A = this chain, B = another copy of it.
Amino acid sequence: MPYTTQQKLIVSAVIEKSNRPLTPLDICEAAKVKVPSLGIATVYRALKQFVEEGSVRLVEVPGAAPHYEHVSRQHHHFFLCKQCKHLFDLVGCVRGVNAMAPSGFQVESHEIVLYGSCPDCLAA
């Protein structure tokens, strides 16, 4: 049975407190503030465990590295800034998306991603 360690607690806290999906490296950076010796392998191991337990979700977006977010966040989609590569959340969803499939196709889920520039990069 898994042990509860400082590293896992910090990694979990970082994900839970973030207001956007994070990459394993983002998480490692942020967690090092509390546990400076933290290795990337430990972050990956923690993420794997959390995803299996169901507390964290993998977010895959074309054109971006894999990100992770806490499952408590509701159904939503993403905005990927082409300049800084940051992923932002979009609130809400468009109706009728699943109806785009032709008959005979069974839709299980969908993903919507907008691409462009975020306010910060537009200002710079």
Interface residues of A (CB under 8 A from B): 60-63, 77, 79, 82, 88, 90-94, 96-98, 100-102, 104-119, 122
Please name all residues of chain B whose beta carbon is closer than 8 Å to the beta carbon of A61 when the two chains form the complex: 62
Please name all residues of chain B whose beta carbon is closer than 8 Å to the beta carbon of A113 when the two chains form the complex: 62, 110-111
A104, B119: Cβ atoms closer than 8 Å = yes
B117, A106: Cβ atoms closer than 8 Å = yes
Chief secondary structure at chain A's binding surface: mixed
Please name all residues of chain B whose beta carbon is closer than 8 Å to the beta carbon of A110 when the two chains form the complex: 112-115
A122 nearest in chain B by CB position: B106
A112 nearest in chain B by CB position: B112
B117, A108: Cβ atoms closer than 8 Å = yes
B105, A117: Cβ atoms closer than 8 Å = yes
Q: For A100, give its contact among B62, B92, B98, B115 (CB under 8 Å).
A: B92
